[in-house]
């Protein structure tokens, strides 16, 4: 008697980058709103006034607990998203993408490190937060560049190449602006406001990057197959 084949189930992959986009965007703004409601930080236009950084908006009270509760699993979601991007690129391009999941893993580790120590006191913890968020953005950008390089092997018309290129250029423009502000603005308060404003805008571009991946995977019907082995 021939044993029955193990059941196979496929699930869409696009909700993964959608979660990677929505979770940090939503919890960052909700934490800011909770901190403002509790009188912990001033109310202002985050994308124009730059009165608080993302870290300060989620550093105190209930907003801090909520931020850490969401961002720790979000780090895992983003690591899985880059793993999914690796599978997607192997399907649609001839390029090798062996480094991409490792770049995503390192980015996720630093995001988890940042979220873990947000709200703690001490110079060592402050250094972990500062380097954690900086290296998270850096390795996420490296992962984006690796994705663009792989897509470029199929030409500029490769699915998702142009919108992801726009995101990469937006990241680069914000980086250049941050360096320019640091070397041209002498007033500490003004410099702090500029850096806070640029940080919130950087978060928007980060959201856009994962949103592009979600859109492309939805358009292409990318699915992952789950197999259940027999006993």
Report pLDDT digits (tens) over 61-117: 888 889 989 999 999 999 999 999 999 998 877 778 889 999 999 999 999 988 888
Coil, strand or helix at 83: helix
Long-range contacts of 166-171 (CB under 8 A, 24+ apart): 167/205, 167/208, 167/209, 167/212, 168/141, 168/144, 170/205, 170/208, 171/141, 171/144, 171/202, 171/205
Q: Which sign does the torsion angle of CA 122, 124, 125, 131 carry?
A: positive
Tokens of 93: 């391009």
Mind listing the pLDDT tens digit for each residue in 2-50?
Answer: 444 445 688 899 999 999 999 999 999 999 999 999 888 888 888 988 8
**225 - beta bridge partners?**
10
């Amino acid at each position: 008697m021939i044993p029955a084949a193990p059941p196979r189930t496929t699930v869409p992959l696009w909700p993964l980058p959608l979660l990677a986009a929505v979770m940090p965007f939503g919890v960052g703004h909700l934490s800011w709103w909770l901190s403002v409601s509790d009188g912990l930080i001033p109310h202002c236009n985050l994308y124009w006034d730059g009165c608080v950084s993302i870290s300060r908006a989620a550093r105190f009270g209930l907003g801090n607990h909520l931020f850490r509760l969401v961002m720790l699993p979000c780090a895992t979601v983003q690591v899985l998203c880059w793993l999914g991007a690796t599978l997607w690129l192997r399907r649609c391009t001839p390029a090798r993408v062996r480094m991409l999941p490792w770049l995503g893993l390192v980015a996720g580790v630093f995001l988890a490190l940042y979220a873990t120590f947000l709200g703690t006191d001490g110079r060592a913890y402050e250094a972990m937060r500062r380097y954690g968020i900086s290296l998270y953005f850096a390795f996420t950008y490296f992962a984006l560049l690796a994705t663009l390089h792989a897509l470029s092997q199929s030409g500029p018309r490769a699915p998702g190449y142009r919108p992801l290129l726009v995101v990469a250029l937006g990241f680069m423009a914000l980086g250049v602006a941050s360096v320019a502000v640091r070397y041209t603005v002498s007033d500490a308060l003004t410099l702090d406001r500029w850096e806070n404003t640029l940080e919130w805008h950087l978060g928007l571009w980060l959201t856009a990057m994962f949103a592009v991946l979600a859109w492309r995977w939805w358009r292409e019907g990318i699915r992952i197959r789950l197999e259940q082995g027999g006993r």
